Structure 1
Amino acid sequence: MTTAVTRPHTVTARITTPDTPPAMFTATVFMNTARRHSFDDYQPGHPLAEATRPDGSPLRLVFHTSDRITDHEAAAAADAAFAVGNRQRPDDNGQTWPTDIRFVSVGDVIKVTGPDHWIVYLSVDHLSFSAVPEPTNLTGLAGTRATNRR
């Protein structure tokens, strides 16, 4: 003979409290410095220079997950970094794009690190972003001490 056993329902929810920091994306922009690139799409092997702050330290843009950027949406984080890189807004920590670096444009590469530490590299295209392999030709830093020519 069997008897029915009633089990309580289990509900799992993610609750963000003031003590729980929101999940975030970080974005690092690599400026394409190829002499003949002329705002064409990024090609593996193009030389890239990492964007830096005026003091020469690496520039890491931070975006918290929200209605606009949710988990696993690297393109949304890249789009937010593109907006910062074109001086349209600051990142979620109030950081703005340095004035000694040109605007982010077609052919540049944005490295997006997600909340679970996954990484994707996205090339800035004419209308969107395309996943590319990790760049291997990093030539230095883009800032006051670097050449930012196109």
Structure 2
Amino acid sequence: MTTAVTRPLTVTACIDTLHSGPAPGVYTATVYMNTHRDNFDGYEPHHPLAAATRPNGSPLRLVFQASDRIHSHEAAAGAVFDVSNHQRADDDGQTWPADVRSVSVGDVIKVTGPDHWIVYLSVDPSGIPSGFSAVPEPTALVDLAGTRATRRR
């Protein structure tokens, strides 16, 4: 014979107070300016590249939250192009320095996505917004004697 036992309904939940939800996805980007004399013909692996920098010499990094508009490495690179052409700021409110030339054909944009994948995209002569090609990690990086190599001349 079995006897019915009434038990209170209970639910056990693990509540993590340190992380109230998934962290929003973030894309970060660093621009490498092509310093080769033929840079407007497009990027080639032997072309020397110099990182776009802040006035203190640190690399200029742009930040974009993943959204309906920024949903891929290429979309983030397109947003970098817009920021460098003074059309907007990044999602942290950072604008492009006035004395650094805009992102152009032949430059390379390093984009780290929310999935931690790093993709290097060259700006192609075919134009923006779809004018990016994945390239291997550049090896010909230069620091033109500690100066802001990307200043307009």
TM-score of the two chains, using structure 1 as the length reference: 0.79
- In structure 2, what is the equivalent of residue 8 of structure 1? none
**Deviation by residue 1:17-70 (Cα, 9 ceiling, x = unmatched):** 986542100010000000233x11101110000011122111110000111012
Asked whether the equivalents of residues 33 and 148 of structure 1 are also in contact (C-alpha less than 8 Å), the reply is no
Aligned: 1:67 with 2:60: no
Amino acid at match of 1:81: V
CA distance in 1, matches of 2:117, 2:47: 24
Secondary structure at 1:139's aligned position in 2? coil
Structure 1 alignment gaps of length 5 or more: 1-16
Aligned: 1:85 with 2:71: no
- In structure 2, what is the equivalent of residue 94 of structure 1? 93
- Seen in structure 2, the aligned counterparts of structure 1 residues 68 and 58 have a Cα distance that, compared at 3 Å, is same
CA distance in 2, matches of 1:114, 1:46: 25
Asked whether the equivalents of residues 101 and 144 of structure 1 are also in contact (C-alpha less than 8 Å), the reply is no
Asked whether the equivalents of residues 33 and 149 of structure 1 are also in contact (C-alpha less than 8 Å), the reply is no
CA distance in 1, matches of 2:30, 2:150: 18
CA distance in 1, matches of 2:85, 2:132: 16
Identical amino acids, percent of aligned pairs:
69
Cα drift, residue 100 of structure 1: 1.5
Give runs of aligned pairs for residues 1-150 of structure 1, distance below 5 A: 21-37=23-39, 39-70=40-71, 73-126=72-125, 127=127, 128-140=131-143, 145-146=148-149, 148=151
- Seen in structure 2, the aligned counterparts of structure 1 residues 45 and 94 have a Cα distance that, compared at 3 Å, is same
Cα drift, residue 87 of structure 1: 1.1
How many residues in Structure 1 have an aligned counterpart in Structure 2?
130
CA distance in 2, matches of 1:34, 1:18: 48
CA distance in 2, matches of 1:118, 1:147: 27
Q: Which runs of 4+ in 1 moved over 2 A?
A: 17-21, 143-150
Cα drift, residue 145 of structure 1: 3.2
Cα drift, residue 144 of structure 1: 5.8
Structure 2 alignment gaps of length 5 or more: 1-18
Secondary structure at 2:78's aligned position in 1? helix
